[in-house]
Amino acid sequence: MTVTSKTIATKRVLSAMTIVTFWLAGAGSGLAAEPPTGPTYTNSLGMGFVRFEPGTFTMGTGGDLRIKDLVLGQDLGGTGEDGLDWDEQSAHSVTLTAPFYVLTARVTKAQFEQAGLGVADDNCRVSWDRASAFCAWLSQQDGLTYRLPTEAEWEYVRRNPGTVADFVGEWVGDWHGGYRNVSLTNPAGPVTGVVKVARRDATNRLSQATAREGQYVFRVVLDTAAAQRWVHSPLPFNQMAVKQSTAPALQGPAANVPHFAVRFALPVPASYDRQQNSSLVGIDPAISFYNHSPGFEIMPNGDVLAVWYSSPGSEDGKIIRTTQARLRHGAEEFDIPELLFKFKGDYDGSPCQWREGTTNWLFTGVTPQGGGGATPPYVFRVSRSTDSGATWTMFLPTFFNIVGSPQPITSNFRDPDGAVYVVTDESGGAGFPQSLLWRSPDNGLTWRPQAGRTYGRHTTIAPLASNGPLLGLGGKKSQINGYMPQTLSTNWGATWEAPTQSPFPQLGMNQRPCVHRLASGRLVMVGDAALRETLVPPADWTNGMAPYVALSSDNGATWHFKALPVALKHENANLLTLGYATVCQAPNGLIHVLATMTRPGLHYEFNEAWVYSADGDIVPETSGGTITNYSENYPGGARRATWSARICPNGRYLLDGVETNYHENGTVQRVVTWASGRRTGEETLWAPNGDRFWSWNHDLTNNVSTWTHWWSNGRKRMESQWDTNPVARDLPTRHFRGLVANGEARHWDATGREVGVYRFENGSLK
């Protein structure tokens, strides 16, 4: 794949293609000037360059198989800026094979503004987009190939500075992603992403959106020749092999036949593994033990996508990263969680998802912990996906009249005029917790707060009709006689009526309710029966101690309650909880609920017929019916995937048979065999050049899977053992579909020498 600097400057998506071979060709193949050959060079703008010869050096730091995190004895405050961080490990060998010239100083304001790309501040702190566009302009001016340095080149120069100096926070060309402990030649980071790397010193990595102005400076590299720049990153698999067909998403259990299923949403570890052992079993080191405040939606292709903020215990926004896990339509087990993105050196926070037709929205909060308003001056970032979460386009909106300490919650909708609304928290300046609506009249580009405030933090809101009114239900840390307050707005949040008592118990710390309007017109509400601080429900509550689901057919005037028959305790309390609950509906009508603050988080799916039935924890349909074959192609006509699924007698869709996914270049990407929604036998993921990334061996008879990671030379790198029919810590008599590390995890170096053996028992390192 050949890309020019201009192409890189305009590409701002997270791609399902995560490993390709490509070379950076500057502004095009028709550049006339011959590249310099001497030790120094001065170009037409008077910019001075120095030549660096090929070489090999060690990039990254640390050699432990357990990837350290800042909070482990180094940075409990969670600033995320100093010390050894998860994405700066492990140390690995890098070889650069072609000489290159690098600007001895940063690009100046005067130099930049000659390109006609707008005004820069005195330090020439511009966006990555404008920095890359400057390189393309300079290439056309001089007939040479200028570009931003790769991260490896930048670090090579920084470790061998010579006449190059004055290093501060600087953009590089690479998309941000974690390091892999492999030897690399001419690396260039992931092929695409959502945030770009900025470097400050020899090891410290930062990252930011490409459109962010006023934060980082840049310097320029002059190529002497086109070089092969290899990208070695299989992550995130959650964005690979994503099928785009939407017709199968409509297939599901019959609406009049009760259906209920529940499974693990996260593996153990990483879920609540405070010792950070998950990297020892092969999990992305960005995934920490505290996965909270989820954004949760069903993709247009029927896949379930859970997006959490993940951190090693602290809720400070600078240490939080946004992570993801996908349950593929027709599968019984979630994929292993991985990083979605991280704004290193900047605040991040609670994600919120919303599916609107074939478009998925993702709002991610940036508010510092403890209030004080967001830095930089926006409330949340906005991303959209039109391919079921395989790629995301992010932009940084403009906010007016920023108030309080907002973070996105769970509710999004449009009004009849086409304006988009997002619910966020408020600081509680009136003496009690509040929430408010943000309104965008231009599809997310600009936002203003509505004047009204609800009567609870984490208020969940749903329109009662297409033109309103809005129903707001409680939130947490607010109550009337032990129940959540409820209130109405007839003007889209400009004002709210005085609160009245709802039929839902009040909530507190680590609890969040969620309401959603279903395709049937009913409202669905989920929450906890008991208050986290007291562990008891209101005195007149008659619906049990377990978390509940409730349906209303009359816009909330009355509700039908049902206790969930399967529930886990809060991670450090006896409360049966959904924690920060989220509820949504799939295209096939199934209701999905995601629970957090339990070990691990659970994912529920059920239909309205089950809620109204007397059934409890029933066994979902998994056999009989017919097998249907499917296939789909890339837009250019190349084959994307072939697969088959079992359509059970009552309509449930379960993957069954061999599925083959292809790279766009025609090579095989993944082969997996399914048996009624469960993976069986061999499963392998390959790079476009045929290198094997990882493979699984799934033994359904014994409910054991072995996960193997491979070096590029074909030798084993890591192997771990997993229980695929585990029990939960707090419910030892009930089995779930999920993954719990159980058995040995072995590590080898590239020569085949064993370098570590660890034993896990029920998810814990022994």
Residue 90 confidence (pLDDT): 86
- How far is CA 80 from each of CA 205, 272, 321, 757, rounded to the nearest angstrom? 10, 20, 10, 30
Q: Among the listed ranges 123-132, 202-211, 703-712, 735-744, which one has the minimum average pLDDT value?
A: 202-211
Closest CA to 498 of 459, 557, 454, 462: 454
Q: Which residues 6+ apart lie within 8 Å of 81 measured at CB?
A: 204, 318, 345
Q: Is the pLDDT of residue 501 over 60?
A: yes
pLDDT digits (tens, 9 = 90+) for 114-160: 999 999 999 999 999 999 999 999 999 999 999 999 999 999 999 88
- Four-residue CA torsion sign, 3, 5, 7, 10: positive
Residues 556-565, mean pLDDT to the nearest whole number: 98
| Tokens (6 digits) for 444 | 């997310």
Single-letter residue type at 198: A
Side by side, the strands of the sheet bearing 21-24 are: 2-3, 21-24, 229-230
Residue 106 confidence (pLDDT): 94
Q: How confident is the model at residue 429 (pLDDT cuts 50, 70, 90)?
A: low
pLDDT digits (tens, 9 = 90+) for 620-641: 999 999 999 999 999 999 999 9
361, burial (CB in 10 Å: exposed 0-12, middle 13-18, buried 19+) = buried
- From CA 460, how far away is CA 474, in angstroms rounded? 7
Q: Which residues 6+ apart lie within 8 Å of 73 measured at CB?
A: none
- How far is CA 184 from each of CA 25, 88, 480, 521, rounded to the nearest angstrom? 20, 15, 61, 55
- From CA 295, how far away is CA 238, in angstroms rounded? 15
Residue 230 confidence (pLDDT): 57
Please tell me whether the peptide bond between 469 and the residue prior to it is cis, using omega within 30 degrees of 0.
yes
Q: Is the pLDDT of residue 453 over 50?
A: yes
**Bigger pLDDT: 284 vs 316:** 284
Beta-strand pair 500-505/514-517: unpaired
Helix/strand/coil for 6? helix
Residues 291-295, mean pLDDT to the nearest whole number: 93
Q: What is the mean pLDDT of the chain?
A: 89
* Neighbour tally for 753: CB within 10 Å: 9
pLDDT digits (tens, 9 = 90+) for 342-368: 988 788 889 999 999 999 999 998 755
Q: Is the pLDDT of residue 18 over 50?
A: no
pLDDT digits (tens, 9 = 90+) for 682-704: 999 998 888 899 999 999 999 99
Domain spanning 2-54+97-230: CATH 3.40.50.720: no
Q: How confident is the model at residue 666 (pLDDT cuts 50, 70, 90)?
A: very high
Residue 431 confidence (pLDDT): 67
Residue 688 confidence (pLDDT): 82
pLDDT digits (tens, 9 = 90+) for 360-397: 999 998 755 444 444 456 688 999 999 999 999 898 99
* Neighbour tally for 646: CB within 10 Å: 23
Q: How confident is the model at residue 527 (pLDDT cuts 50, 70, 90)?
A: very high
Residues 720-726, mean pLDDT to the nearest whole number: 98
pLDDT digits (tens, 9 = 90+) for 598-614: 999 999 999 999 999 99
Q: How confident is the model at residue 227 (pLDDT cuts 50, 70, 90)?
A: low
Residue 407 confidence (pLDDT): 84
DSSP string covering 49-94, please?
EEEE--EEEEES----SS---TTTTT-TT--SSSS--GGG---EEE
Q: Is the pLDDT of residue 19 over 70?
A: no
pLDDT digits (tens, 9 = 90+) for 170-190: 999 999 988 877 778 888 888
